[in-house]
Amino acid sequence: MISKSDIMRVLRRPSLVFCVLKGYRDRKWVEQSAWFDPDWYRKESIDGNFSGLPLALHYSITGFHPDVLPCPDFVPAEYFSLHPDARGTNPLVHYEKKGKRKGYAISYLQAQTGCPPRHVSLMEHQAALAETARRVGAKMKRGEPLRAVFLVYSTSMFPARPLFDEMRKDSAFDPKIAIIPDLRWKKEGDDRRRSRDREELGRSYPENVFLNIERDKRGDWPDVLSNADLAVWNTPYSLSDFRYNPHWSVGRSFLPIHVSYGYWMSPFGNWIMQCHNLGYFWKALFENAHNTTEYRTRSRIGGKNGVCTGYVKMDALPASKPSETGARKRVLLCPHHSVYSDGHGASRTSNFLRFADYFMELPRIHPELDFVFRPHPHLFPRLESKTFWGKRRTDAWKARFSEHPNVIWNEGGDYLLEFARADAIVQDCGSFLPEWLYTGKPGCFMLRPNEPLEKEFSPFGIDCLKCYYPAREEAEIEYFLSKVILEDKDPLRQARHDFLPIVAVNHPHAAKIALENIKRSLIFLESSRLDNSLS
């Protein structure tokens, strides 16, 4: 049975109501499709919180999400890449209603040979990667530099950058950067975004490290991984053209590596650790022992590719400035974008709508503080929609808030630099929850009133929260600013100090540890191959 909470959650979201109604209408196309495998879907799919529904109806409602597969052989990102007109739809429904009649292929293999794709299980794929690793190891032993392609969606989601920098220092590697298209930016202009990121990274790296990512005359994106030995992904999502998504590693001659862009602090992390894409990687680098163990518990392949190296991303955190007596304190305000749940495991953690009026007055209440406002990049585009404020009201809020002389509006660029400059943070972003603890400085975390922590955070996330001053109402934020920051009455200082070794494993040498692990694995596999051949 569908629970009352499920019904209320759907009714609060007009777009979700539309998806449910459309799902009921399209259910018949899923039920009759040869590409929908109910047994596989029941076992392998990640629940989209529509429990109690028939499987075909469940998929017809949730199948618009690119990481939801109706069977192991029908990959949405691949179908969307072949047929751009299908984007934004449920791909299987689109194929059954239109694509089949037009002769659409469901995969590149089918498009090239006319034959349906053969299913390769994750375990078969992992076995093939072991053979690829032996070949790559032999190349490294011969002294030939290994080409490592770093697939970058944006500069703000480039957590593998410290690993890239380490590889540039090592003659065994020839690292390259590929700034790839992100299909989520279609409305805002992905070409503009990629050009901006290319310019920003170009200030730090020479021209020859960048690979050209431009469509050809037919409109296809280049396969920059055709001559790669290693490919490094920064997210497990299918956000781009199929040639740049993790599934593209199946049957290819390179080793895929995953470097996480964030600690997983909420139930959404469970979705990530179970997702099919993480099983495609040769190595998935994790931040600490807790997350590595959690992955091994939830992984579809038993976590055999999980490696605890430390949080590579945080190697780039600059040294924090020392506190200066009498200097103005600098406070980061960092609201998250999740003003509602997306229905796929991501919780509504953002409290911005509750505190927006208070934030508006905060710089006036505390003129002795400087406030650096750094919202999640998706927050204000979301608020501009008709579901929330609309563009006029959103622009008015931004204009009024920016009028305060002690406000600094901060978007883009390196937020870790802002971490180092600031004295404190007020936030509700799950990925920032452990990251700020690396600074050792006090933080205030905004929470929803009357919401059990277990519903919003993982056990490790709750442990991180114990190092923060919680704020469920304005008075608690005021206490944090007045007492903890201005009067330096900070009873959680020791708790943060004691917790730092647990959260900041191998910091600031996680990238070096990761590189050593990669090289050691390649040397070991090549040595094993030679031993086997001699015996």
> Could you give the angle at which helices 267-274 and 289-298 cross, rounded to 10 degrees?
60
The pLDDT, as a whole number, for residue 111 is: 66
Q: What share of the chain is helix, strand, coil (3-state, %, to 5)?
A: 50, 10, 40
User: Which helix (H) or strand (E) segment is 353 a member of?
Assistant: helix 352-365
Identify the pLDDT of residue 426. 98
Residue identified by tokens 């239109």 is 98
pLDDT of 531 reads: 44
∠203-410-232 over CA atoms, to 5°? 50
Domain ranges of the chain: 4-113, 122-316+508-530, 329-503
**The CATH number, out of the four listed (3.30.870.10, 1.10.260.40, 3.40.50.2000, 3.40.50.1820), of the domain defined by the range 329-503:** 3.40.50.2000
- The pLDDT of residue 39: 80
For residue 530, the model assigns a pLDDT of: 41
Q: Which two tokens stand for residue 336?
A: 């998250």
Per-residue pLDDT of the chain (535 residues; tens, 9 = 90+): 444 444 444 444 555 555 677 777 888 999 999 889 888 787 666 554 445 678 888 888 877 776 678 887 788 877 887 888 888 889 999 999 999 888 898 876 676 556 666 667 888 889 999 999 999 999 999 999 999 999 998 887 899 999 999 999 999 999 999 999 887 655 556 788 888 889 999 999 999 999 999 988 877 889 999 999 999 999 888 778 888 988 888 888 999 999 998 888 777 777 788 777 899 999 999 999 989 999 999 898 999 999 999 999 999 999 876 665 568 999 999 999 888 654 444 456 789 999 999 999 999 999 999 999 999 888 998 899 888 899 999 999 999 999 999 999 988 778 999 999 999 999 999 889 999 999 999 999 999 988 888 878 888 999 999 999 999 999 999 999 999 999 999 999 999 999 999 999 999 999 999 999 999 999 876 555 444 443 3
Tell me how far apart the alpha carbons of residues 384 and 362 are, in angstroms, rounded to a whole number. 23
**Rounded Cα gap, residues 432 and 413, in angstroms:** 16
Q: What is the 3-state secondary structure (H, E, C) of 133-193?
A: HHHHHHHHHCCCCEEEEEEECCHHHCCCHHHHHHHHHCCCEEEEEEECCCHHHCCCCHHHH
329-503 matches 122-316+508-530 in CATH topology = yes
Quote the DSSP letter at residue 31: H
pTM surpassing 0.85? no
What's the pLDDT score for residue 346?
47
CA 218 to chain centre: 30
Which tokens sit at 504?
Answer: 């900041």
DSSP per-residue string spanning 356-418:
HHHHHHHHHH-TTEEEEE---TTHHHHHTSTTTT-HHHHHHHHHHHHTSTTEEE--SS-HHHH
pLDDT of residue 219: 79
Q: In what order do the strands lie in the sheet with 369-373?
A: 407-409, 369-373, 329-334, 424-427, 443-446, 469-471
Task: Kindly state the tokens that stand for 128.
Answer: 């093939």
pLDDT at 6: 46
CATH architecture of 122-316+508-530: 3-Layer(aba) Sandwich (3.40)
Cα gap 137→518, rounded to integer Å = 10
